[in-house]
Structure 1
């Protein structure tokens, strides 16, 4: 992780990179010869998401510029790749290019295990290092310990993301709730819905969303030194300190108060999003990766978003990475595909479809909803507010976080017991990497 300047650089990258030249760097995609070839591509973006639309167009452009190459695309689930990546990439079943989660516990771990190709030479040759300056390189680079922020390039991010509060404007109007400007106003709004018999927050305890709410609550009490200690090992983290204690206690309290469904511990992210799109909940706290899909699919009510009130930091970062497995037999084609996803027309499409591009022309973003999204991102990054994600610091931490918040939802363990469970693998990892 790089400090302070990283987020600000990401803003500039999103809206002001037209000076970096057209296309995805200095190298043009090569045809790859005349023999028939296949590029095996995996990613987990749904077809109607901003990224899904952009990558589908990138595949068309790639095949048009590589007439002898067929792209064999397989859509994989986030959880599926999260749990099986190391095993698959160490086998003959590895794809040639894959979307993968960024951070020490995921891409960092695979890089340390020798499963990912070193992209440093390509990043320089193709100009990705110029399209992704400063903070955008944080999640792309990993040192010998698998710690992000320095070392070799093992991935290429080509969008930004952050967690926000989505809200159903029709339900807010029906219950005479205004968009909250403070944390106190936000909890008052949640109380209003509960008193009206409405559970306000759509949640998914079986996957990432619930742990991001827990982390967001902790961040309301956090300052930069705490974040640097937790994510970058630049100090000792007290799991029973005010930050995580507040996050765990308040999350459990929100369940008791009826803000969060008591039966949401087994709910998956897809079901959470669909429930919000169907108008069943007035609020959903989740990431910008839903934004384009909501813009496409929500027809029956007006919706909007706002940054989490009372917090200067929120979960967020550059987006997931394109990684090239070391076992890929078509690395040259994989590099060409990455290049196309960094091109201006694909980046502009991403931006106008509800994504946060890193190399778009600012003037080309004409969609009103997309402009709102990027404005919120600018506001967050101007405050140096990208706080990464809670599962990043240690291998296997994602499942630990899922189990912990499920226990808070079910009330099967106290906050203190859950925080003890979170502390052990984190501290074990510090010992493993020599911190």
Structure 2
């Protein structure tokens, strides 16, 4: 609880005057986006728009971290310290669990009132709707206003220096990593202490999977961690560490460490989500970079973006609904698009940045083909920490079969919660 009162920024109303019952009210909003990221900039624009439309209302923005909310959201939202609105992770283990516990407001009436369902494709709506905590159907408990997917970021200058072609097949990908290792360079930036390592594991599993496998794992509770896909993923990740594709000391690193390694030019490649795109566009000045989709796989981690949710104990629900609606308006969506993220309701003609156009085109291709496979920690409560520990074990050299056994046990226990 103490950690969640840190890093608070208060944005005061643009208009000092008040009107009606809104005068003097405060909308408390939590999110965990970097200020210079596409979403951070978009939320800032949304706050300005909201305050202009609600004279006398102050928006109190509190910046949290993903890890803080991942660990303490249920406790905080069940207390008098709950915010009025917050950005929260999607999936059964997070938004689904909180909806099942009665901690989130059912937004179904507002979806109809504001027409949000007409702006969100069925592919995006999967993670907004939950029935008894399971995503894909039922009532609406959250609204995304951006989308995301994982890709391979690569350092164009390093690829050119070592005459490495951009991989088109998985064999090409492996050959590229071999070339960097031979030249004393660790090919992949990674972070074992947070989400990146488990996404490497999931990417490898997806390369041997199909949509039915994803549905069984994510929604039906029928995962078999000793099947061909998971067995391949665990053994291959362990092998990559032995071959030097991933550094052993990455086991204790966090996501920001991984991003810094890529930004510094030390790492030729980094596999992670589109949420890094805008940050890299604004911060990388010393080398050229680009992206490609994980080669040889039709499935990648991805979905609608994090959700705006309204806690059941929110004291300003109507204001929260209005704020969500503003984040889907044109100017906010245009910020998302042109600052390096994937908007859900922007006009393609309004996207002016060439890299942004490419990012959105890749997403559209994946969404149209059913290639978005969600994220590995979603199926059951607590699985994020389980996967983090499992991938750390693999990096540390633990037997892959034993690691998969621990995942199966935790998965089954989570289904019974």
Range class of TM-score, shorter chain: over 0.9
Aligned partners of 1:32 and 1:128: how far apart in 2?
Answer: 27
Cα displacement (A) at 1:34? 4.2
Structure-1 residue corresponding to 2:38? 50
Structure-2 residue corresponding to 1:165? 152
Select 2:166's aligned residue among 161, 179, 195: 179
Structure-1 residue corresponding to 2:4? none
- 1:277 counterpart = 2:263: yes
Aligned partners of 2:43 and 2:30: how far apart in 1?
Answer: 11
Structure-1 residue corresponding to 2:188? 201
Cα displacement (A) at 1:430? 3.0
Select 2:305's aligned residue among 319, 327, 351: 319
Aligned partners of 1:163 and 1:222: how far apart in 2?
Answer: 16
Q: Please say if residues 161 and 287 of structure 1, whose CA atoms lie closer than 8 Å, have aligned partners that are also in contact.
A: yes
Cα displacement (A) at 1:222? 0.5
Cα displacement (A) at 1:67? 1.6
Select 2:359's aligned residue among 373, 382, 385: 373
- Where in structure 1 do 4 or more consecutive aligned residues deviate above 6 Å? none
- 1:422 counterpart = 2:407: yes
Cα 1:288/1:75, change in 2 over 3 Å: same
Structure-2 residue corresponding to 1:211? 198
Aligned partners of 2:228 and 2:306: how far apart in 1?
Answer: 30
Where 1:265 maps in the other structure, the secondary structure is helix
TM norm structure 1 = 0.90
Structure-2 residue corresponding to 1:5? none
Where 1:354 maps in the other structure, the secondary structure is coil
Q: Please say if residues 123 and 367 of structure 2, whose CA atoms lie closer than 8 Å, have aligned partners that are also in contact.
A: no
- 1:189 counterpart = 2:180: no
Where 1:424 maps in the other structure, the secondary structure is helix
Cα displacement (A) at 1:32? 6.6
Q: Please say if residues 306 and 376 of structure 1, whose CA atoms lie closer than 8 Å, have aligned partners that are also in contact.
A: no
1:340-366, Cα deviation, whole Å (9 max, x unpaired): 100011101110110100000110001
* 1:185-264 alignment runs, 5 A limit: 185-233=172-220, 236-264=222-250
Structure-1 residue corresponding to 2:21? 33
Structure-1 residue corresponding to 2:285? 299
Q: Please say if residues 27 and 316 of structure 2, whose CA atoms lie closer than 8 Å, have aligned partners that are also in contact.
A: yes
Aligned partners of 1:258 and 1:34: how far apart in 2?
Answer: 59
- 1:79 counterpart = 2:67: yes
Cα displacement (A) at 1:377? 1.2
Where 2:21 maps in the other structure, the secondary structure is coil
Cα 1:259/1:270, change in 2 over 3 Å: same
Structure-2 residue corresponding to 1:287? 273
Cα displacement (A) at 1:133? 3.2
Where 2:180 maps in the other structure, the secondary structure is helix
The structure showing larger relative contact order (alpha-carbon pairs under 8 Å, at least 6 residues apart) is 1
Aligned partners of 2:337 and 2:315: how far apart in 1?
Answer: 32
Cα displacement (A) at 1:382? 3.0
Aligned partners of 1:428 and 1:208: how far apart in 2?
Answer: 21
Q: Please say if residues 208 and 229 of structure 2, whose CA atoms lie closer than 8 Å, have aligned partners that are also in contact.
A: yes
Where 1:40 maps in the other structure, the secondary structure is strand
- 1:127 counterpart = 2:115: yes
- 1:95 counterpart = 2:83: yes
Structure-2 residue corresponding to 1:400? 386
Q: Please say if residues 255 and 409 of structure 1, whose CA atoms lie closer than 8 Å, have aligned partners that are also in contact.
A: yes
Aligned partners of 1:260 and 1:114: how far apart in 2?
Answer: 42
Aligned partners of 2:128 and 2:208: how far apart in 1?
Answer: 28
Aligned partners of 1:286 and 1:125: how far apart in 2?
Answer: 36
- 1:70 counterpart = 2:58: yes
Aligned partners of 1:186 and 1:380: how far apart in 2?
Answer: 20
Q: Please say if residues 31 and 65 of structure 1, whose CA atoms lie closer than 8 Å, have aligned partners that are also in contact.
A: no
Structure-1 residue corresponding to 2:92? 104
Cα 1:86/1:201, change in 2 over 3 Å: same
- 1:154 counterpart = 2:141: yes
Cα displacement (A) at 1:196? 0.2
Q: Please say if residues 42 and 332 of structure 2, whose CA atoms lie closer than 8 Å, have aligned partners that are also in contact.
A: yes
- 1:61 counterpart = 2:49: yes
Cα displacement (A) at 1:253? 0.5
Structure-1 residue corresponding to 2:11? none
Aligned partners of 2:264 and 2:244: how far apart in 1?
Answer: 20
Q: Please say if residues 154 and 323 of structure 1, whose CA atoms lie closer than 8 Å, have aligned partners that are also in contact.
A: yes
TM norm structure 2 = 0.94
- 1:349 counterpart = 2:335: yes
Q: Please say if residues 167 and 283 of structure 1, whose CA atoms lie closer than 8 Å, have aligned partners that are also in contact.
A: yes
